[in-house]
């Protein structure tokens, strides 16, 4: 692939948008170090994206900053008036209420694994019975075809 084809492939745009895979990004970075034309195309794509973002930017309303500051000041004033110290001591709670978040699903996984194990056992028994029947049928067919060969009986 020559330089023009590489530039027009779209990999530079994917890289600028952050959509390129790590492998593609590494290759492009290596190519940019060694090829000035690809580097220039990268910078042009980056500049185009910046210009587009600037052109499409929406300016916030002028009074938004004052509204935010007023809300913060009101919350701080309300917080100073109502100073309530709520202390939550985990040791004071009954043991049933204290739960470790990651430990709740192990029972579900254990039940699912047990069910799958039982299904597997049933499937294996069924398969073994089918194998035994098939062997008997094959032995019977061989006996019919060649009566001199007697099937091995245990």
92 pLDDT higher than 70: no
Which of 154, 130, 152, 151 is closest to 140 using CA atoms?
Answer: 151
Residue 125 lies in a domain: yes
Q: Is the pLDDT higher at 87 or at 52?
A: 52
**What's the pLDDT score for residue 6?**
86
**What's the pLDDT score for residue 45?**
92
Domain hosting residue 146, numbered range: 111-154
Residue 25 lies in a domain: yes
Q: pLDDT per residue over 140-154, tens digit each?
A: 888 888 866 555 555
Residue 96 lies in a domain: no
Residue 84 lies in a domain: no
**What's the pLDDT score for residue 152?**
58
Structural tokens at position 45: 């794509």
Which of 51, 52, 56, 45 is closest to 18 using CA atoms?
Answer: 45
**What's the pLDDT score for residue 148?**
66
Average pLDDT of the residues in 38-51: 92
Residue 41 lies in a domain: yes
Residue 148 lies in a domain: yes
Cα 40 from Cα 9, distance rounded (Å): 15
Domain count within the chain = 2
Going from the C-alpha of 25 to that of each of 2, 19, 21, 64, the distances in angstroms are 18, 9, 6, 40
Structural tokens at position 81: 């008036």
Residue 43 lies in a domain: yes
Residue 72 lies in a domain: no
Name the pTM for this structure.
Answer: 0.40
């Amino acid at each position: 692939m020559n330089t023009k084809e590489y530039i027009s492939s779209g990999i530079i745009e994917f890289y600028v948008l952050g959509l390129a895979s790590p492998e593609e990004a590494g290759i492009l970075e290596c190519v940019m170090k060694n090829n000035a034309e690809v580097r220039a195309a990268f910078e042009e794509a980056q500049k185009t994206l910046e210009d587009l973002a600037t052109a499409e930017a929406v300016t916030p309303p002028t009074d938004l900053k004052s509204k935010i500051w007023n809300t913060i000041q009101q919350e701080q004033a309300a917080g100073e008036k109502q100073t309530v110290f709520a202390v939550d001591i985990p040791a004071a709670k009954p043991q049933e209420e204290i739960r470790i978040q990651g430990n709740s699903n192990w029972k579900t996984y254990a039940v699912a694994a047990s069910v799958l194990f039982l299904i597997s056992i049933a499937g294996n028994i069924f398969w073994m019975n089918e194998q035994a029947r098939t062997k008997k049928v094959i032995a019977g067919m061989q006996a019919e075809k060649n009566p001199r060969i007697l099937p091995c009986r245990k």
